Structure 1
Amino acid sequence: MPDQPVDYQAAFEALPGSFVLVEPNAPDYAILAISSDLLKLTAQARPQVLGHSVFTVYPKTPDAPTAAGLSALRTSLQNAAHTRQPDQMPVVRYKVRNTAGVLETRYWSGLTKPLLNAAGQVHHLLHTIQDVTERVREQDQQRELRKIEKTYGLFLQAPVAVCILTGPENTIELANDEMHRFWGTTPAVTGQPLFTALPQAREYGFAELLEQVRNTGQSYFGTEYPVQFAGPEQPVQYYNFTYQAYFENSTDTAAAGVFCVAHNVTKQVVARQQVEESERRVRSLVDSAPFPISVHVGQNLRIQSANQAMLQAWGKGADVLGRPFAEVLPEFEGQEVFAQMAQVFSTGQPFGVRNQRIEVVIAGAPQTFYYHYNFTPLLNPDGSVYGIVNTGADVTDLMLARQRIEEYAVELQESEERFRIMADAAPNQVWAVHPDSSIRYVNRAFLEFVGVSLEEYLRVGWASYLYPEEMEYAQHILTEAISRQTIYRFEHRMRRHDGQYRWLLAQGAPSYYPNGELYGYVGSAIDITDLKQMNEQLVQTNNDLDNFVYTASHDLKAPIYNIEGLLHALLQTLPPDTRHSGQVQHLADMMQESVDRFTKTIANLTDIVKLQKENSEEAVMVELASVLQDVCLDLEPLRASAAGRFVSTIPAELAIRFSTKNLRSVLYNLLSNSLKYGAPDRPPLVRIACELTPAYHVLTVADNGLGIEQEHQEQLFSMFRRFHNHVEGSGIGLYMVKKMVENAGGKISVTSQTGVGSTFQVYFRH
């Protein structure tokens, strides 16, 4: 049958495989023949495809308009037609409808081979298609497997702790090495329930968290969670962890288990805690610092922090934190503060100023302060400025004090000029010395007395003019007065311009600056030579009078005693009836009272003369509390009978300069009077105290007795004056107290209110 013609069309269509024969009529490429296998694969019928463009028969699918298959096919057909060489297409993906009419993704490998005519021109294009879907899928599976293996390896080597827990028992399905280090376990626990392998984990609440995530499907994120699985002797470890539910299938509603990831952040937490602790200590130091400190950040100088001293300096509260500086203190706009801070922020150079005047509005009112302050830049690692530290010191008191001192200096100079003008006009000698007792100034009368100029007197000093034997003692008295800052009083001789030594009474007192500092001593001196001579005569006369009084009182005692004896003898000679008669007895009592009063008067005169003669008794340092205690013992019977009470606040170590015997007499008179003249409606209460002043020790004796009427208080210290006659007394006790105190350079005063009580104050000079 060789002579029968071969039906190549039928043979082509029957060939196994996927073939299509197309015309090279770009761009249509009409199908001339197609194999049955390709028709079956693409679910097409031969009459529907023959004569039609291959791109019409196999158009882009709506589900995959960007598929690369058709463009690759067109490129392959064009290449083969152009080069007349076979063209191998890359593997392409293209969706075709299968026999069920469903689009299915398939992978193809195509080869286009040109068929040439006798002239060598392309007559047809034979495109062979090979379905490599299974091979591609197998390759994809291999790649996916390798990816899974790589992921698993990375999973096991991950620097964070990772594990997978399945089921309600939280079975350990997988855990990497880091997770085992976290737990303190080995891979041998794989397959065990978590809380069987790690029972101590229950106390941290992990069981409840895992159940919550598995039941809700909501992930849980823990931050810096402290755990101590390795035992209490090991340090606490901190972890950030995530619990995320996982599902076997995307359609499952119940989680199969929990995927756990934990990252050890102990170093970061400890470092942060150390930084926070350091910041806390620094903040504590800053907050407690006595000087103002604040930190400002950003171009608008936002107040990041400010200690209490700075807030107080601003007159603001803590609510200013976080606000721009200019908003909080707008009054600084015109005071160069903002400009100075802006300069520091732009240049990075620190700035400082001293004694700067600052106006701050506090409680709505502007107030003036003076500050030393500094602006120090805060730098980023790259050297740029991100903030400023403001530190300051309030020197307002110092500046005001300096201003006052300057004002005082001017006032002092003016005052001293006025003083010199007035002193030069004074008729008596006026002098002033420095605190070291050196001469500051003497007036014209003083210079005329010594007969030299002020410059000469200042140069040679007063030692050249004092009586030689008195110089050392005079200097001692002045130095002692200055050291104690007490009144200076001294009689001495000084050489006049004619060479004659004259007696001067020099008196001075401390003078102070307005701030309380000792300026020096200012005093005067008067010539008392004539008075001293007259006084010597008066002293002689007074001595004569004292002798007369003493002699008279002594000589009068014998006649009085005789009169008293004669009175008693007279009474004894009278008949009993006459002696005991009312008139005789009354006259005898009156005569006896007169004799007694005369006897007491003579005794009082004798005491007064003794007091005058004892004026020179030496003063010594006496412990006041000790003498007070002795006096209280002597007065104990009187105190007990009056149910009185003494209350003293005088310290045991307090000592005053006075005669011991006279001090005892002063205390005895004052305390006994407080008891004797007590109010009838209340027991006597006597309070004794003593305070120190620059010139005196002031003894205070206050009672709650009868009191003294105002018009009688000035006469209280007079001789023989009494204002309460219901108790026995002579009327010379307070007079003698006054004389004893004044003879020692002191004084005594009284304040009293009738029905309330009296307060006596005795001033003992240092």
Structure 2
Amino acid sequence: MEVRLRLATIVESSNDAILGVDVNGIVMDWNKGAEGLFGYSAGEAIGKHIAFLAAKNQQHDVQEILKQVMSGHVVKHFETVRQKKDGSRVDISLTVSPIFDAEGRIGGAAGVARDITERLKAEVALKTSEKRSKELVLHAPVAMVVTHGPSLEIELVNRKFVELFGYTVEDVPDVAHWWPLAYPDEAYQGKIKALWQARLDRALADHTEMEPMDAKVRCKNGSFRHIEFHFASLGDTDLVSFVDLTDRENAQTKLQESEERFRGIANAAPVLIWMSGPDRSCNYFNQPWLDFTGRTLEAELGNGWAEGVHSEDLNACLHTYSEAFDRRESFRMEYRLRRYDGQYRWILDIGVPRFNSDGTFVGYIGSCIDVTELKLAQEALSGIGRKLLEAQETERKWVARELHDDINQKIALLEVRLERWSQEVKESAEDIRDHIKHTCQELSSLAKDIQALSHRLHSSKLEYLGLVMAAKSFCKELSEHRDIRIQFSHSGVPRSISPEIWLCLFRVLQEALQNAVKHSGTRDFEVSLHGGGHEIRLMVTDTGSGFDLQDAMIHRGVGLISMQERLHLVNGKFSIDSQPGVGTTILARVPLARQQSKTFAA
């Protein structure tokens, strides 16, 4: 009795659904586990045929199970689906055994049903994960092999592996078949095996990833590839990946050969060549540079080269380099560099930015030439040009004085005499009087023209009253003479200006205004003369027809060239902004800080 009671307690407290049926399949027992699993209470289930838990398409399964059990067989772990009270379905594992009475006859059956829903979901998730992992391996961009078990049987080789080596899983069913195919040279094979095993043992002992190794592998077509191996172990399953280094190695070889060719060409070139990295530091100088400076490569690397730049040029040199570097732009600069004999030579340095094929900035490359002789020649030419302009100005001054003091005075005297004669002519000679009067008017006009020409050749106002008053007077005289409007403005122009500067700016003003009046087709002009920022700026503007600068330099560029040359002699700068149909602006800028030269630059 106690045994029965204990069994009943166990059955009732079990989490599994335990139920009993008679030989006809009618439910006779129904524990709480069954209530929880199927949702029916014992009162609802007892007395019903067990088939009430099965869907219509599973009725045959119920009858078949009953048939086997009633014939004395045990149905173990039969996985099926049953229907719950709420209409939902549940996956179960069913074990059913016959119940024998005291006489050994089958009096019914006992069944145990266990919910396997979560287990099946886990199995599906695992299969999905395995399938996904297999797909990832199959479609991975690098060659991969999956091995299994102690014999290292190859379960899977991906498409990239077949593409890279040509071997299929039929060619290499296990690792033992791989060694002689991949490494036909037995000595090399033994070396690779030993390296592989040593790294594998160390990784397993330290519970870390295996350190990658590389080797030359023979492919199925007989060619060899340079391969880097990576290994990962997941229990009794191993994953080996193969990274092809052949193309990278070939590219590195070609790059090295290209660099060697470049260095050979650079060392043979008759120019000084340097290179810098993205950190601004110089990392290469060719042999001609080293020969020129007489220093070692180690001494020049980084910023060491700057030690040879003249102290007066160093700041400007570094500033030009830094600004161009920040903007990734080409630059051009001149500075003095100390030669091996201690003499400083003028260097023209041209640098351009370097970029990789993918657009990555990798630094600068520059070439330098010694332009000392060229600068000396330019200075000599400038000296000749300065002397020619001095002679021209002296001649202009003499002609202007002759016109003003001699010829103009004679014309004035002749005009006075004619006036006197016209007064002495009798009234009957009216025609003669008119003729003399008309001649006097022509002489007066001629005298004005000669006076204007004299002022253009040499302005005494410029010499005695200064640049501003001379420029203002010239604008007024030209306005009256040519019947045009010139708006003149000035500010901040110092009175103490060296003669070469005020004469240069005055001549540029004369040339610019006369060209504008002659070619612009307009009657309105603006002239501004302003000082500030250690320089004087002269600007002549018109709103006329404009012109093509290149065409003007070819066909009527003498005046433009003359202005450029004059400004060059006083270290000035000259620019023209002109477009056909828009107008023209001429800008002349002369620094005041560089008046050391005492040469008269006209």
Q: TM-score range by the shorter chain?
A: 0.3 to 0.5
Larger Rg: 1
Q: Which one scores higher on RCO, CA 8 angstroms, separation ≥ 6?
A: 2
